[in-house]
Structure 1
């Protein structure tokens, strides 16, 4: 089989270049006009709140144990009647995520039992200072909504921590006090079994 001359190979290579020369360029005007991200993009983390403002984080440290990069540090503390930050016994007193280590895998999200930790679409995490890339609890907490009260404050009157976890709490109290239906589980009584005599 005869070899192709080098000139033909060169022209074939330049053909690709010539084709792209006349196409309209695709230029994103970042950072002036940042483009949209995918709906399920995993960006910066966020610590969520219940509808009355109490924090969802219970300081269990499961997210820190699940992190393969050792990027999360959590220190839990006990709630008291005078100072309550979350429903239940404990809350996350110290919460830090080191974005110099975080690989964005989302295993911390899967480990969280109360859905306190989620990931947002915010991807602008660059900085010129390493210390500023260790986010503390104040930077990770979701902002207070218009009807929320900043903790510490008491739980909704007549509620338990289970009411919070099941979503029965609204900004102005327990859902049952607002006339909203609550989900109840009914157990079926077993049907009698006929006795067979041989």
Structure 2
């Protein structure tokens, strides 16, 4: 309970200590003085780029088989798995004359909108053929919004020596099962195939 004696006396004010008042500003600068003597941790980006970790989620890459055919079969599972709705895929049917992938279908139109992508990696997990993976490239800034919508040509890995430019017949196997198992067929393309 409070004391109801009615006194309105204030507690006695403490006398200022002149030494404490003199030292207080210097104590406040203590942090500043300590950081002045430590080595700076500033990174000199972009002149000095630090390497990323191996499992870093960077720009997407559409992979190819060893003969140059695309691994993407146009199933659209990556687009369905994307929570940001950043992927657009249109599948089309392969023919014997024009074959872009070893399966029945291929991704005729493939786009990733990096204005929407959150780099979560769910599209990578959904891909049944490991056609879509993520690289360590992280510099995607641009001055145009249109340039941040990557098309299939920008996402496909470049052709390595020994690869043919699709469309062409399957070279690694006579059947789809042999192709995926890596069992060679009749071999390199003949001059009539090109």
Which TM-score band applies after superposition, normalised by the shorter structure?
A: 0.7 to 0.9
Calculate the TM-score normalised by the size of structure 1.
0.78
Contact persistence 2:58–2:136 (CA under 8 A): yes
Calculate the TM-score normalised by the size of structure 2.
0.79
Q: Report the CA distance between 1:163 and its aligned residue.
A: 3.0
Report whether the alignment pairs 1:55 with 2:60. Answer: no
SS at structure 1 position matched to 2:92 = strand
Contact persistence 1:50–1:164 (CA under 8 A): no
CA distance in 1, matches of 2:80, 2:21: 60
After superposition, give the CA deviation of every residue in 1:61-91 in whole Å (9 maximum; x if it has no partner): 0000000000000000000011000001000
Aligned partner of 1:154 in structure 2 is 169
Alignment of 1:1-198 (within 5 A): 11-156=26-171, 158-166=173-181, 168=182, 173-174=184-185
Contact persistence 1:87–1:160 (CA under 8 A): no
Q: Report the CA distance between 1:25 and its aligned residue.
A: 1.5
After superposition, give the CA deviation of every residue in 1:95-139 in whole Å (9 maximum; x if it has no partner): 000000000000000000000000000000000000000000000
Contact persistence 2:173–2:179 (CA under 8 A): no
SS at structure 1 position matched to 2:34 = helix
After superposition, the Cα gap between the structure-2 partners of 1:42 and 1:7, relative to the gap in structure 1 and judged at 3 Å, is farther
Alignment: residue pair count: 170
CA distance in 2, matches of 1:55, 1:6: 75
How large is the Cα RMSD of the aligned pairs?
A: 2.4
Pair member with larger Rg = 2
After superposition, the Cα gap between the structure-2 partners of 1:30 and 1:109, relative to the gap in structure 1 and judged at 3 Å, is same
CA distance in 2, matches of 1:64, 1:12: 58
